Amino acid sequence: TAIWNGLLHHYREFLPINSNTPLLTLHEGNTPLIYLAKLSEELGIDLHVKFEGLNPTGSFKDRGMVMAVAKAVEEGSKCVICASTGNTSAAAAAYAARAGIEAIIVIPKGKVAAGKLAQAYMYGAKIIEIDGNFDEALQLVRQISDTTAVTLVNSVNPYRLEGQKTAAFEICDVLGEAPDILAIPVGNAGNISAYWKGFREYAQKKGTSLPKMFGYEAEGAAAIVRGEPIAHPETIATAIRIGNPASWLLAEMARDESDGKISAVTDEEILNAYRLIASKEGIFAEPGSAASIAGVYQSVADGSIAKGSKVVAVLTGNGLKDPDTAVSVSSVNVVTLSNNEQEIREYIEGLL
Ligand code: F0G
């Protein structure tokens, strides 16, 4: 049908859905695959972005959360819990509200972008801030959910990856095949694992091709690249400020089975990409998302992405999530003029 009723409805046959599973939805998914004409020309590749920032809570987490919360409700749970750098908690809070159950979120104090925090407040989550990073928060909620009547909805919950794999389906549905390369930010490493699962399942059921999976960690949080956990990860891209990814092994499998790679991008590369996609293509994605574009630039430069390749970069979250970073790294000067037509006219004529 022409009406989009969300992921559980649309991809039902690919998801763990039975007659007891509520078809929860905020009409998530079906996000646009946007061709970047200017960047494609500059790089000599064919570059699209999957703009996940257009999901109901502004990130790809909605795909996994709709599935995880639906299964929690099916199993009779009254409360979900997660650790988060901000987007998972926004999605958990929204879908819990929608389903009529509670959400408890545990977040690193002072390290969650303003828009994400505002979402958790508005959706009515119980919010616990800790003096600790995401990895520590995740360890806490894993232990607590083992022995308490709360359902863990971080991506170690397998239903999260089931929901998130649908983004790979959508890319194949639009392109008619997989791209040559799927470029994606890596934080806790759930999403790269979910995409690979999705591409493999579609290849099996629909005969579509398989991409090479190119994951990008922030340099100050690049545990997989370094080959060891990082106790104190740091990056301006707070979404992926993670030093011990829970899906580490799955991400390495995605990399190795696809003949792909996982590498690191610096904060400077991330910020350059962040500004570039907004100013040159009109797409405002959050800094963590821009890691995929930063990575595409790096990989074209070092030759690991060949000229002429068909590349899809995932933009995982909306730029509006993090207004403080946007304002602080922007070089725009706002001019103050008097409330006077002549003065403003002269200023504008000077610009033309
Ligand atoms: N991009 C954004 C905007 C994110 O919020 C995250 C993860 C990632 C990329 C990385 O995805 O963890 O599956 O490798 N955010 C989590 C959160 C950790 O709590 O919102 P991943």
pLDDT of residue 110: 97
> How far does residue 82's CA lie from ligand 1's centre (Å)?
13
Using alpha carbons, select from 252, 174, 261 the residue that is nearest to residue 213: 261
Summarised one tens digit per residue, pLDDT across range 3-50 is 999 999 999 999 999 999 999 999 999 999 999 999 999 999 999 999
What is the best residue among 51, 133, 188 to mutate for testing ligand 1's pocket, by most ligand atoms within 8 Å of CB?
A: 188
- How far apart CA 195 and CA 254 sit, in angstroms, is 9
Summarised one tens digit per residue, pLDDT across range 291-319 is 999 999 999 999 999 999 999 999 999 99
pLDDT of residue 303: 98
> How far does residue 87's CA lie from ligand 1's centre (Å)?
7
What is the best residue among 63, 65, 88, 140 to mutate for testing ligand 1's pocket, by most ligand atoms within 8 Å of CB?
A: 88
b/e map of 26-46 (b: 16 or more CB within 10 Å)? bebbebebbebeebbeebebe
- Which value does ipTM take for this structure? 0.99
Summarised one tens digit per residue, pLDDT across range 112-131 is 999 999 999 999 999 999 99
Using alpha carbons, select from 114, 60, 54 the residue that is nearest to residue 86: 114
> How far does residue 352's CA lie from ligand 1's centre (Å)?
42
DSSP code string of 150-214: -EE-STTSHHHHHHHTHHHHHHHHHHSS--SEEEEE-SSSHHHHHHHHHHHHHHHHH----PEEE
The overall average pLDDT reported for the chain is 97
Ligand 1 atom closest to the Cα of residue 154 is 19
Q: Which residues is 12 bridged to in the sheet?
A: none
pLDDT of residue 332: 81
Reduced to 3 states (helix: H, G, I; strand: E, B; else coil), residue 262 is strand
pLDDT of residue 105: 98
Residue ID of nearest Cα to ligand 1 atom 11 = 187
Reduced to 3 states (helix: H, G, I; strand: E, B; else coil), residue 322 is coil
pLDDT of residue 319: 98
2 Cβ contact partners less than 8 Å away, ≥ 6 residues apart: none
Residue ID of nearest Cα to ligand 1 atom 6 = 239
8 Å CB contact between 153 and 81: yes
Summarised one tens digit per residue, pLDDT across range 222-276 is 999 999 999 999 999 999 999 999 999 999 999 999 999 999 999 999 999 999 9
What is the best residue among 81, 316, 321, 322 to mutate for testing ligand 1's pocket, by most ligand atoms within 8 Å of CB?
A: 316
pLDDT of residue 70: 98
Please tell me if the CB atom of residue 250 comes closer than 6 angstroms to any atom of ligand 1.
no
Q: In terms of pTM, does the model score above 0.95? A: yes
Residue ID of nearest Cα to ligand 1 atom 4 = 239
Residue ID of nearest Cα to ligand 1 atom 15 = 239
Per-residue pLDDT, averaged over 342-349, amounts to 97
Please tell me if the CB atom of residue 53 comes closer than 6 angstroms to any atom of ligand 1.
no
Q: Which amino acid is located at 265 in the chain?
A: V
pLDDT of residue 1: 54
Q: Which residues is 127 bridged to in the sheet?
A: 105
Ligand 1 atom closest to the Cα of residue 59 is 3
Confidence of residue 2 (pLDDT cuts 50, 70, 90): confident
